[in-house]
Amino acid sequence: MRSNPSDYEMVAPNNLRAVVSLLAQEPGMWLPIAGGTDVMVQYAAGKLAVRKLVSIWNLPELRGIEVAGDEIRIGAGCTYTDLRGHEIVGREFALLSNATGWTGGIANQNRGTIGGNIVNASPAADSLPALLVYDAELILVSLRGERRLPYPRFHAGYKKTLLAPDELIQTICLPRRFSTYFSHARKVGARNAQAISKVCIAALGRVKDGVVEDVRIALGSVAPVPIRLTETEQAVEGKAIDSDLFLLARKAAAAEIRPIDDIRSSARYRATVAGNLVVDFLNRLRSTFAEGDGSKDVLTRWNHLPSDQAAKIILPCCGSMAWAREMVARRPFADDAALLAASSEVWRGLSQSDWMEAFQSHPRIGESRPAIPLSTPSAPSRSVEWSAQEQQKVGDADQAVKIALADANREYERQFDRIFIVCATGKSAAEMLEILQRRLTNDADTELHEAAEQQRQIMQIRLRKWLQK
Partner 1 sequence: MSDSREGHSRAEISFVVNGEPKTVWAYPMERLLDVLRHQLQLTGAKEGCGEGECGSCAVLMDGALVNSCLVPVLQARGSNIVTIEGLAAGETLHALQEAFLECGGAQCGICTPGMILAAVHLLDRKPEPTIDEIREGLSGNLCRCTGYSQIIEAVAEAARRRTHA
Instruction: Pick between residue 67 and residue 107 the one whose CB is nearest to partner 1.
Output: 107
DSSP bridge partners of 52:
9, 30
Give the nearer residue to partner 1 in terms of CB position, either 80 or 246: 80
Q: Which is nearer to partner 1, 33 or 222 (CB)?
A: 33
- Total residues contacting partner 1 by CB under 8 A comes to 35
Minimum CB separation of residue 367 from partner 1 in Å reads: 41
- Regarding 33 and contact with partner 1 (CB under 8 A), the answer is yes
Q: Which residue number, 40 or 267, has a Cβ lying nearer to partner 1?
A: 40
Half-sphere exposure of residue 357: CA atoms within 13 angstroms, side-chain side: 19
Q: Which of residues 424-443 bind partner 1 (CB under 8 A)?
A: none
Within 10 Å of residue 352's Cβ, how many Cβ atoms? 9
* Binder of partner 1 out of 3, 179, 309, 360 (CB under 8 A): 3
- Binding to partner 1 in span 382-411, by CB under 8 A: none
Shortest Å, Cβ 467 to partner 1: 20
CB distance 275 to 246 below 8 Å: no
Distance CA 77, CA 5 (A): 24
Nearest approach in angstroms of CB 107 to partner 1 is: 5
**Is residue 229 within 8 Å of residue 218, measured between CB atoms?**
yes
Do the beta carbons of residue 129 and residue 201 sit within 8 Å? yes
Where b means 16+ CB within 10 Å and e means fewer, 410-430 reads eebeeebebbbbbbbbebebb
Interface characters, 248-287, with partner 1 (x: CB under 8 A): ----------------------------------------
Q: Cα 49 to the chain's mean position, in Å? A: 39
**Would you say 6 or 441 has its CB closer to partner 1?**
6
Task: State the pairing for strand pair 52-55/30-33.
Answer: parallel
Smaller CB separation from partner 1, 31 or 204:
31
Min CB(81)–partner 1 separation in Å: 7
Smallest separation, CB 36 to partner 1 (Å) = 5
- Is 11 a binder of partner 1 (CB under 8 A)? yes
User: Whose Cβ is closer to partner 1: residue 150's or residue 349's?
Assistant: 349
Question: Interaction with partner 1 in 299-358: which residues (CB under 8 A)?
Answer: 334
Alpha-carbon distance 116 to 388, whole Å?
A: 56
Contacts of partner 1 in 36-75 (CB under 8 A): 36-37, 40-41, 43-45, 53, 55, 57-58
- CA–CA distance from 106 to each of 75, 101, 126, 370, 378 (Å)? 20, 9, 15, 47, 41
Q: Which of 275, 287, 87 is nearest to 182 (CA)?
A: 287
Q: Which of residues 78-117 bind partner 1 (CB under 8 A)?
A: 81, 104-108, 110-111
Measured between alpha carbons, how far is 300 from 307 in angstroms, rounded to an integer? 14
Among the listed ranges 7-15, 285-293, 300-308, 363-371, the one in contact with partner 1 (CB under 8 A) is 7-15
Determine the Cα–Cα distance for residues 301 and 297; give it in Å rounded to an integer.
Answer: 6
Stretch that binds partner 1, among 192-200, 270-278, 365-373, 461-469 (CB under 8 A): 192-200
Task: Name the H helices within 315-420.
Answer: 321-329, 336-348, 352-359, 380-390, 392-396, 399-416
180 binds partner 1 (CB under 8 A): no
Decide whether 334 or 398 has the Cβ nearer to partner 1. 334
Distances in Å between the Cα of 449 and the Cα atoms of 45, 66, 148, 363 are 61, 36, 52, 19
Residues lying near partner 1 in the complex (CB under 8 A): 3-12, 33, 35-37, 40-41, 43-45, 53, 55, 57-58, 81, 104-108, 110-111, 192-194, 334
